A = this chain, B = another copy of it.
Amino acid sequence: MMHTTTIEEQLAKAGIQPTAQRIAICRFLFEGANHPTAEDVKQWMDRNFPKVSLATVYNTLNLLVSHGLLKELRFQHDDRVVFDVNTVPHHHFLDEDTGELIDLDEALVTVDARLAPEYEIHQVHTVLIGRRRG
């Protein structure tokens, strides 16, 4: 029988003290938030865990990033940072109508770059921009 890791455990394992504020933020992040901005996190917190300051939101997000639990991303269409719980390398689809960002598993996108041999490639990130019909 398999044991689901709690947020406290995930934080502890990453070396982050699991305070109430941090757990609340992680609850939002790890339970389905889709590429939220700091402001999105703040707004969710205001509704679900009031009295947390914006500074704590930023501190916590940066802490999670620096401990590898979160990635920060920037896209062309928005000058704000968005956070991605998906820390595994992957790509993104950006719906140009709605602004919605969708993670694309690395296996779904094949990138073949024919560069001169002095270019060592360490990471590849593709953004597909378009529209989802339907």
A68 CB, nearest partner CB in chain B, Å: 15
Band of interface residues on A: 35 or more
Is A81 interfacial (CB-CB < 8 Å)?
yes
The segment from A15-23, A32-40, A50-58, A124-132 that touches chain B is A124-132
A71 CB, nearest partner CB in chain B, Å: 9
Is A2 interfacial (CB-CB < 8 Å)?
no
What per-residue 1/0 map shows which CB atoms of A48-90 lie under 8 Å from chain B?
A: 0000000000000000000000001111100101000000000
Q: Which 6 residue pairs across A and B have the least CB separation, nearest first?
A: A123-B129, A121-B130, A110-B112, A122-B130, A126-B126, A118-B134
Mind listing 5 A-B residue pairs with CB under 8 Å?
A: A113-B126, A118-B132, A119-B128, A124-B126, A125-B129
